[in-house]
Amino acid sequence: MDLTRRQLIRGGASTAAIALIGPAGRADAMLGLLYDWLNSRPVEHPRPGEDILAFAARVLPEITPNESFYVQSVGYPAAGLSPADWRIDVSGDVRSPLRLSISDLAQMPQTEAWATLTCIGNPVGGGQVGNALWRGVPLRALL
């Protein structure tokens, strides 16, 4: 059987359309579940004077409050080191080596991103996981 280019394209387009129906249907179902879950939650409002991140951590279980974050304290804090004395050296295969203090970093342009951190030693289902809005200098700016 000889297959023309037109038949090949038509068959490929049909196959692609059928393949996309499945994921689109699943995505629609997931959006429906998310919508139902959001609408099942009670309406919450910030308390007077409450910071927006504290409010979000209080009403959204997906956000870990600062006091609930896991802490790994191996070698931290360094004995006798104050924040004023702290420095970070950026050296090696970088454009220009740097030695920065906390105040130097605080004066640089910052970015924010939601991120989930988990301890490498956390067992499956363990509690050493935290999700929060992190702010700092992008590593790219230092390298």
The model's pLDDT over 42-91, given as tens digits with 9 standing for 90+, comes to 667 788 888 777 777 777 677 888 888 887 776 666 667 788 888 999 99
For residue 16, the enclosing domain spans 1-41
In contact, 71 and 130? CB cutoff 8 Å:
no
pLDDT given at position 77: 62
CB 117 within 8 A of CB 130: yes
Predicted local distance difference test score (pLDDT) of residue 101: 93
The answer on 62 and 31 residing in a single domain is no
Peptide bond before 77: cis, by omega within 30 degrees of 0?
A: yes
Q: Quick one: 6 and 62 in the same domain?
A: no
In a shared domain, residues 138 and 85: yes
If asked whether residues 96 and 118 sit together in one domain, one would say yes
Same domain as 100, residue 33: no
Confidence band, pLDDT 50/70/90 cuts, at residue 120: confident
Alpha carbon distance 143, 141 (integer Å)? 6
My answer on whether 102 and 59 are in the same domain is: yes
pLDDT level of residue 98 (50, 70, 90 thresholds): very high
Place of tokens 């970015």: 111
* Nearest residue to 41 via CA among 62, 17, 69, 71: 62
Same domain flag for 3 and 31: yes
Considering the domain architecture, whether residues 95 and 127 belong to the same structural domain is answered as yes
Cβ atoms of 110 and 135 closer than 8 Å: yes
Q: Is the pLDDT of residue 94 over 90?
A: no
Per-residue pLDDT at 29 exceeds 70: no
pTM of the predicted protein model: 0.49
